[in-house]
Amino acid sequence: MQNWLPDRIDPRVWLQRGGRLSGAVPVAGMARLGSLLAPGGEVRAELALSQEAERAPLRLDGHLQGHVTMVCQRCLGEVEVPVDVTLALDLVTTEAVARRVPEGREPWLMSGDLLALAELLEDELILAVPTVPRHPAGSCQAPAMAGAAEATVERPHPFSVLARLKDG
Ligand SMILES: [Zn+2]
């Protein structure tokens, strides 16, 4: 059985239990990312939570690895996009603390006691995958090469059908 990461987690409890967490990222349930995806793909996360000093922000470090399946915007075929993301986040509760996050780390603003882990991971994945996914040049089955001529003959454009109905 898949060991899915939780959508939300209490970081204090997580830290008390050792601060380690690994599992599958629930990619298919991520609405914002899902609009870019074809079914399939698997991303795993190894996460570690730590705290340097008692009042310091909690630090979330980790690694996302795997692949997602996206729709090639040239040929509309499926393209596997590798995912390899390193996380270095400070969990902060105010904008003021967010501005003091050291170089090399990014702030993640928490809006309460629970960490929205799925939302955080979704943000990281959205940044990691291309906005316009495409096969690499040479391996793309572009329609121009796959008999686009036959494909366009058969179907009239829906608007031209409407126009004919109106005229008649
Ligand atoms: Zn393609």
21 domain-assigned: yes
Looking at the domain assignment, is residue 130 inside a domain?
yes
Q: Tell me, in angstroms, the distance from the centre of ligand 1 to residue 137's CA.
A: 8
Residue 138 Cα to ligand 1 middle (Å): 9
- pLDDT average, residue stretch 105-124: 94
Distance CA 110, CA 149 (A): 53
- How much is the average pLDDT of 139-164? 57
Classified as helix, coil or strand, 134 is coil
The answer to whether position 89 is within a domain reads yes
Contacts of residue 71, Cβ cutoff 8 Å, sequence gap at least 6? 36, 37, 38, 77, 78, 79, 133
- Ligand 1 mean position, distance from CA 139 (Å): 7
Position 146 in a domain: no
CB atoms within 10 A of CB 40: 13
Domain contains 157 = no
Higher pLDDT, 157 or 115: 115
Within a domain: 46: yes
Percent of the chain with pLDDT over 90: 62
- The rounded Å distance from CA 82 to ligand 1 centre is 15
Q: How far is CA 8 from CA 5, 27, 114, 150, in A?
A: 9, 15, 6, 50
Domain of residue 62 covers 11-140
pTM for the model: 0.80
The total of structural domains in the chain comes to: 1
- The answer as to whether 158 is a domain residue is no
48, 62 in Cβ contact below 8 A?
yes
| Cα of 80 from ligand 1 centre, angstroms | 10
Query: Ligand 1 mean position to 125 CA, how many Å?
Result: 21
